[in-house]
A = this chain, B = another copy of it.
Amino acid sequence: MVRVGIVGASGYAGGEIIRYLLGHPEVKITYLASDTYSGRHIGSAFPNLIGRDLPVCASFGDTAADEADVFFLAQHHGWAMNVAPQLLDAGKKVIDMSADFRFRDAETYEQWYKTEHAAKDLTRRATYGLPELKREAVRSAALVANPGCYPTGALLALAPAVSKGLIDPASIIIDAKSGLSGAGRSKFELGYLFSEADESVKPYAVADHRHTPEIEQEISELCGRAVRVSFTPHLVPMVRGILTTAYASLVRDATTAEALDLYRQRYADSPFVVVLGEGEYPATKSVAGSNYCHIALKVDPRTGRLVAMSAIDNMGKGAAGQAVQDMNLMLGLPETAGIEHAGLYP
């Protein structure tokens, strides 16, 4: 059994990684770190984990590297860049959930995250862990930057159309709707209180969200030129899920059926992407609690645009599920090990 450590175990991403790994046939959780719950069983943070056979939470420290072979770092940005180097030097595999290693260009990171990067050389050695785009690179990676939740939904919805030249990348507009768990467990702002968030939809960080450059980096790589996109995230009153609706101008005539066919080919080897039939549309409920992504397309001949839609669980394919998928690839395990179960419906 491969030994796994999770740092930031009491955050939502950490808890969800634990949930997935408890059912994983090839790995064992040997280390959990959480400052808040240090010395306690993680069940005191997550009542769904009460009674599970898990190590008591530790405070992350110098000897952590001895405790596991693979580390999931589920902390806020700015943390992993100070820790990953040592873990890598010790021969560990590292999957970072934060933005620290998502940008090949550290300057972009510094500009959007207002944080000086402490491990700039590592950003070029890290692999952006979206297996549907970079499966082979992930297999051989020691350091994977787990993609942001919004970029995951947007890129899966757009990648085939961009790489096949179906749409004009400069015309891309991405409108995303997310459940509240994306805000994490430690944000005690007014807007995250139940009474404020329930029965309300609202945009935030309009044309200003930090996931924008991450989307742009990957779209630009796919089409071979620098591209800027419009991206607007919204909070909707649900716990899990991101529904992404992306718009772009077609550069050649195509029917919805042809576009769907192109996507099906592109994702034929991707077990977690489901391309829906013509006239079917994704719903976040369909993938809740799972690592799946549902994708739908509609060509609008009236306006000459493609509407590409995707649904993911922001905690699953948008975070913990994808991280385990990356781990499977990094360890040479079957890509679906431990994360193949169906979502909860209804």
Contact = CB atoms under 8 A, between A and B. Distances in A.
A161 to B, nearest CB: 15
Contacts of A83: none
A48 B198 contact: no
Given A283-B202, A303-B229, A188 B185 contact: no
Interface in A268-306: 274, 276, 281-290, 292, 294, 296, 298, 300, 302-303, 305
Interface string A90-105: 0000000000000000
Contacts of A285: 47, 196, 199-200, 202
A296 B207 CA distance: 13
B234 A247 contact: no
Interface in A211-234: 228-230, 232, 234
30 contacts: A48-B343, A48-B344, A52-B342, A173-B247, A175-B245, A175-B247, A177-B236, A179-B199, A180-B193, A180-B198, A185-B190, A185-B193, A185-B195, A188-B188, A192-B193, A193-B193, A198-B237, A199-B284, A200-B283, A200-B286, A200-B288, A202-B282, A202-B311, A203-B282, A203-B296, A203-B307, A207-B307, A229-B303, A232-B247, A240-B344
Nearest 10 A-B pairs (CB), nearest first?
A200-B285, A207-B300, A47-B286, A202-B283, A48-B345, A188-B188, A48-B343, A175-B175, A201-B243, A194-B197
Given A19-B341, A206-B281, 11 more contacts: A12-B346, A23-B23, A48-B343, A185-B193, A194-B197, A195-B346, A199-B240, A202-B243, A207-B303, A228-B302, A228-B303
